[in-house]
């Protein structure tokens, strides 16, 4: 049996498509726990910021450290042993680059109002989701764009209800997204 070049090309395209979908599904399955984790942490952080603003900085530092450590632990245990080190280093570099960029922007625009900080950092993180979605899968693109739109709606139109909005819509959205990924992966 021989294949003509068009059939061979179509078969290779099918194989590439299956490979892409498999990679996307595996990434989604591993990401669901991390999304749920950050959703819960986001709810806690925004509610602490809203209800006890003097504890906001301490709460967010603790949340960011605990969340990053837990994210790396989840990632570490879900990866094959031969890919752990390389992937962990890439994710660490990604975290450092993203938050280093955020710190540089904050330094350029300092001083900023607390409300601007409450909108900036999640917007920056969700921009990372948009970038991941461009490379990995549409789900993250949709989550990133949708979350940024919701942040802007709350920031510009919800006044004093911005932080509870962030807790419910973004924190709850991450949990819901994580549960959806878990079900669909």
- DSSP for 91-139 reads HHHHHHHHHHHHHHHHHHH-S--HHHHHHHHHHHHHHHHHHHHHHT-HH
Which span out of 29-33, 44-48, 92-96 was modeled with the highest average pLDDT?
44-48
Q: Which of 138, 127, 125 is nearest to 171 (CA)?
A: 125
Mean pLDDT of 14-37: 70
- On the question of a cis peptide bond just before residue 111, with omega within 30 degrees of 0, the verdict is yes
pLDDT tens digit sequence for 73-102: 888 887 778 877 887 788 888 888 988 999
Tokens for 156, please give them. 């510009």
pTM above 0.85, yes or no: no
Q: Where are the domains of the chain?
A: 15-184
């Amino acid at each position: 049996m021989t294949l003509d070049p068009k059939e061979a090309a179509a078969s290779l395209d099918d194989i590439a498509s299956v490979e892409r979908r498999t990679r996307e599904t595996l990434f989604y399955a591993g990401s669901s726990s991390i999304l749920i984790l950050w959703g819960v942490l986001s709810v806690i952080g925004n509610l602490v910021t809203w209800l006890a603003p003097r504890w906001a900085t301490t709460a967010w530092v603790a949340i960011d450290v605990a969340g990053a450590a837990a994210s790396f632990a989840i990632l570490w245990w879900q990866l094959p042993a031969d890919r752990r080190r390389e992937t962990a280093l890439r994710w660490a570099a990604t975290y450092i680059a993203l938050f280093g960029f955020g710190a540089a922007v904050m330094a350029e625009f300092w001083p900023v109002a607390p409300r601007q900080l409450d909108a900036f950092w999640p917007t920056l993180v969700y921009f990372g989701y948009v970038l991941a979605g461009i490379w990995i899968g549409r789900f993250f693109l949709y989550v990133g764009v949708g979350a940024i739109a919701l942040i802007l709606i709350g920031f510009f139109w919800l006044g004093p209800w911005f932080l509870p909005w962030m807790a419910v819509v973004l924190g709850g959205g991450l949990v819901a997204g994580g549960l959806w990924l878990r079900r669909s992966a």
